[in-house]
Amino acid sequence: MKMFLQMVTLVITLFSFEQGLRAGVLEDVMKGKAIVIDLTYPLNEKNAYWPVGPYTPFKYEVIANLKKDKVFSGKYSTPEHLGTHIDAPNHFEEGLPSVDQIPFEQLIGHAVIIDVTDKVERDADYILSPSDILLWEKDNGQIPEGAIVLLNTGWSKRWHDYDGYKNFDKESSMHFPGYSKESANFLVTKKNIKGVGIDTLSGDCGTSADFIVHHTINAARKFILENVANLDKLPPKGATLIIAPIKIEGGSGGQCRIWAILPELPPTKYPK
């Protein structure tokens, strides 16, 4: 009986959220009464990609043009984990859902933006701690269940400088911020989030050798968003996130379009 009541509560919660999304947020977007911020970098040959192993840059080639063929068309090739993209649960854990198996309701949620830019300026290897999360909650209230947590590290300012974005040292070790094992575990076990995101190459910090954050998040059947743009334009809370990944059958991830939708408020209501 207890389990039945829990299931009923979950269904009502999901139904209410989906109804609110359809009748509220999306209605405001259609009427021009919402602010829509694109958190996606355009795909091109300058996009950052994982610089270790057999990964290659994005490539685009025109195969038909209007002057000659009366139609414009092209073809492209890319690793799954290039540019703004999603890591599906099967990226680091065998037998878990691939990118095409992530349900829509998992790809929408309340955005929680944790800003650690000041700490990253002092330490490029900074990793998010549970105390950072608790400090966010002290200022903003509890992280809602089913939220999508995005870490704003300020690393996006290096996006157009691939060498600076990778930040290799003389020993061929990369240096950029990320989540810690403890913060990832806290989010999936205590907050029941849908996924996490970051404005760097990886959810793990650059010096990571075991990718423990990936293992922790993916093992919990959650996703990771990487190379997310424009996080500095979002307030700590109040945005609704919509993620639209490419549907590669059996894929470990892929490029995705990410939108943050905010209610239309006076500029003074949002932090600078």
- Note down pLDDT in tens along the chain; length 272 residues: 444 344 434 433 444 444 455 457 788 888 888 999 999 999 999 999 999 999 999 999 999 999 999 999 999 999 999 999 999 999 999 999 999 999 999 999 999 999 999 999 999 999 999 999 999 999 999 999 999 999 999 999 999 999 999 999 999 999 999 999 999 999 999 999 999 999 999 999 999 999 999 999 999 999 999 999 999 999 999 999 999 999 999 999 999 999 999 987 655 444 44
pLDDT at 27: 86
* Phi and psi angles of residue 39, each rounded to the nearest 5 degrees, phi first: -100, 25
Burial class (CB in 10 A: 0-12, 13-18, 19+), 208: buried
- Taking phi first (over 0 means left), then psi (-120 to 50 degrees means alpha), and beta for anything else, what does residue 31 get? alpha
Q: Closest by alpha carbon to 102, among 241, 218, 204?
A: 218
Phi and psi, residue 246, nearest 5°: -65, 140
Task: Measure Cα distances from 209 to 126, 138, 174 in Å.
Answer: 15, 33, 10
Active site residues: 91
pTM for this prediction: 0.89
- Sign of the torsion angle spanned by Cα atoms 224, 227, 230, 231: positive
Collapsed DSSP state (helix, strand, coil) of residue 17: helix
Return the half-sphere exposure (C-beta side, CA atoms, 13 A cut-off) of residue 99. Answer: 21
Residue 59 neighbours by CB distance under 10 Å: 11
